[in-house]
Amino acid sequence: MGPAPPSVLLNYAPMITYPQIDPVALALGPLKIRWYGLMYLIGFAVAWFLARSRARRPEFGWKIEWVDDLIFYLAVGLIVGARLGYTLFYGMAGILADPLSLLRIWEGGMSFHGGLLGVALAIWLFGRKVGKSFFETADFVVPLAPLGLCAGRIGNFINGELWGKPTDVPWAFVVNGEPRHASQLYEAGLEGIVLFVILWLYSSRRPPVMAVSGAFLLLYGLFRFSVEFVRVPDAHLGYLALDWVTMGQILSTPMILFGLLFLFLAYRAPAAAART
């Protein structure tokens, strides 16, 4: 007999059973420290460490004493923006039914795109405080973000939320008896590790102002848009157009367009200046 067809082999491919991780990392009496909240703390700690590392290098033009205030501004902007963004983009009905859930960030329900807007406001405010332009500040900040995004997606995985579509790939996770794409881990890898390596190396070359910010928007938008093809859309929203367009893709499209625009402007401005 010849070898079994690939479709038959896939039916017997090894898969991974989702371990049903306890969302509470540590319980001390009534105090419960959840993995999701802990991942945010890890993300901010990593950003603080990376920012201090960069601030020690004079070519970046940053003072190390600015870093603590910068991380505080970013933390407030991210948490407030992400929660309000989720309310606006995904969860308005739930917030209206239970207004106090707006404060329970450890349960999930944080929008990256809302967080991005909150961070943009924080960058503008902090830049005014220290005498930096918006894009000078943003170019310093965006390479700090991807590892925090990675930690957040791992928090989604631990919470058992934002699963991908059913699949028979060997690396699928079996959730409630059904194998699914671990779209949280795909995003952790692409939006986290891959994006960090690219931005850290690219920004180390000191490209023109606005270019690092443009690269972040472009690459994150492309990575998120792509993963949405294997991610289950929010149940209360479903597909918004053509039986495949999700809210995540709609919100990521402006990021891709603005990323391209910022990169064009960043490299066009030095060329224009050289001609004058």
Task: Give CA–CA dist 239/197, Å, rounded.
Answer: 32
Q: Among residues 159, 271, 153, 173, which one has the least CA distance to residue 220?
A: 153
Q: What is the pLDDT of residue 4?
A: 45
pLDDT score, position 12: 45
Q: Percentage of the chain surpassing pLDDT 90?
A: 61
Within 10 angstroms of residue 260's Cβ, the number of other Cβ atoms is 14
Average pLDDT, integer, range 44-64: 95
pLDDT > 70 in the chain, percent: 83
Average of per-residue pLDDT across 116-126 = 94
Range name among 36-40, 110-114, 205-209 with the lowest pLDDT average: 110-114
* Per-residue pLDDT at 273: 47
More confident residue, 30 or 191: 191
pLDDT, average across residues 86-93: 65
Question: Cβ(157)–Cβ(149) under 8 Å?
Answer: no
Q: Return the percent helix, strand and coil in the chain, to nearest 5.
A: 65, 10, 25
